Chain A
């Protein structure tokens, strides 16, 4: 069962000037998010992440294409009862206290006063804001605002939680709290769809990711599928007492050579050249200090796709990298 489905979703904004082409924010985006998974929606600033989220929530209308949430068309008012949302850098009614704030959103979600009060107590404890329950939001720090924002997103116990850049601007402690909260939501059987450009968090908690560039999904799937972690991208060799200057063999094998006093760092593009280089180090009577293989990471994929997108029209690929 898929909780989010988008098919060929596009959104363009008129330029406002006759003759000028419209600005394309989304260009045929198709993705699926399965029930009960944490899906990380990755992309650089301006890639179309927030536009996608806005379309899913009915805040913006798609120019073309189709989007379904929990089996219903995006923007369906009744379905929103089953969805929680935290926007990017949330600005809330800062004249409200934490209690009033959660009470307001609980009532908007159709909860009774008794249920709202019970959920409020649970959530203030969960996000660590019990002490601040009677404090106005204008006196909250950014991390506290993010946490109270998360609490409002889940006060009505939604099946699907959509978070726009939930870790942005948080310190390491705050980021860990949000990560733990997202993981606990998955443990409760909820689906979490969140946009981010903090790759480390995605690698740590996401079941699957989608990478969007210039309004198109260029890759989607499990992190290990996408980055092929068994594949060694480069090898770093550190050695001592060898002469690299003018050595044709070393320079033909290496992509980078860095000499610092007696110590030398040599970067090889693949493991295939390791034997040849080690042989050369021994031949010169040098000392081998370390051989470190570097596996591909999500960051490599991110930069690779960013550079590729700049030079070509990307194709949509599921469960692997764009062709």
Chain B
């Protein structure tokens, strides 16, 4: 196993021994269970409510874990001074960043798999048809979570935990709004506002591209080309952020 693998496995082991993550996954299970109660309250579309709520719960908990664990990945190492002994070893700083990222990605993959299993069990128990579109939605959610983790990691390489949290949350919200904002100003006559929105659109991640929960809940599948393009976009965006994080981290003093 290479150095990145050793660090990734250790980061994964750390999260496995962190009870907070278990609580969050348990909370997701409760939310999915709650969807059944809400479905009972609605007059029609029981199946859609259960699917909608379930997907939203997986997404919410995944993003929370990605954001807050992602922020602490590097900052905690520096604040607790564990980084001193790691960086004194024959490993490059980039390998450390990548190891931590892949460790968290592995944790998120396991967490999302557990939540998905609970979700599918709920659907099966309540006779909701399990359609491929649901898996497509979870796939893109995972890509979105990889992007959010990369955003959190990027900011945490040069700012405090609090600022990293604010910036990551801000970018996450903007990432879900840029497409709408651009559509709103599309017909305007240009000017500074349009230029700013255009800049935001191209700089910030287009996270709405990775959100197909609405159509997935009613069983409408996305085209394979779209799935591939959206996944590629997310992975590339995360890759650019990770490259930035590695470059910033190279120059950092501890």
Contact = CB atoms under 8 A, between A and B. Distances in A.
A251 to B, nearest CB: 55
Nearest to B92: A77
B253 A83 contact: no
B89 interface: yes
A59 B84 contact: yes
B85 A59 contact: no
Contacts of B243: none
Contacts of A87: 81, 84-85
A129 B3 CA distance: 27
A137 to B, nearest CB: 11
A57 B88 contact: yes
Interface in B1-27: 1, 3, 6-7, 10, 13-14, 17-18
Contacts of B10: 93, 96, 104
B91 interface: yes
A80 interface: yes
B82 A54 contact: no
Interface string B58-91: 0000000000000000000000111111111111
B81 A108 contact: no
Contacts of A78: 90
Contact of B6 (A81, A84, A95, A108): A108
Interface string A86-120: 11011111011000100011011110000000000
A104 B3 CA distance: 10
Interface of A: 54, 57-61, 77-81, 83-87, 89-93, 95-96, 100, 104-105, 107-110, 149, 152-153, 162
A103 to B, nearest CB: 9
5 contacts: A60-B254, A80-B89, A83-B88, A96-B10, A152-B85
A108 B82 contact: no
A95 B85 contact: no
A77 B91 contact: yes
A110 B253 CA distance: 25
Of A81, A95, A153, chain B has the most CB atoms within 10 Å of the CB of A95
Contacts, number: 75
B6 A104 contact: yes
Nearest to A164: B84
B254 A93 contact: no
Contacts of B253: 54, 59-61
* Interface range, B side: 20 to 34
A159 to B, nearest CB: 13
A197 to B, nearest CB: 19
Given A54-B254, A107-B1, A93 B82 contact: yes
A58 B92 CA distance: 11
Contacts of A93: 10, 14, 82
Contacts of A152: 85
Contacts of A153: 85
B89 A108 contact: yes
A85 B88 contact: yes
A77 B83 CA distance: 15
Contact of A59 (B1, B17, B88, B90): B88
A92 B92 CA distance: 20
Contacts of A90: 81, 84-85
Contacts of B6: 104, 107-108
B81 A91 contact: yes
Contact of B89 (A60, A100, A109): A109
A105 B81 contact: no
Nearest to A79: B90
User: What 9 pairs across the A-B complex have the smallest Cβ distances?
Assistant: A85-B88, A87-B84, A81-B90, A108-B89, A95-B17, A80-B90, A59-B254, A60-B253, A91-B80
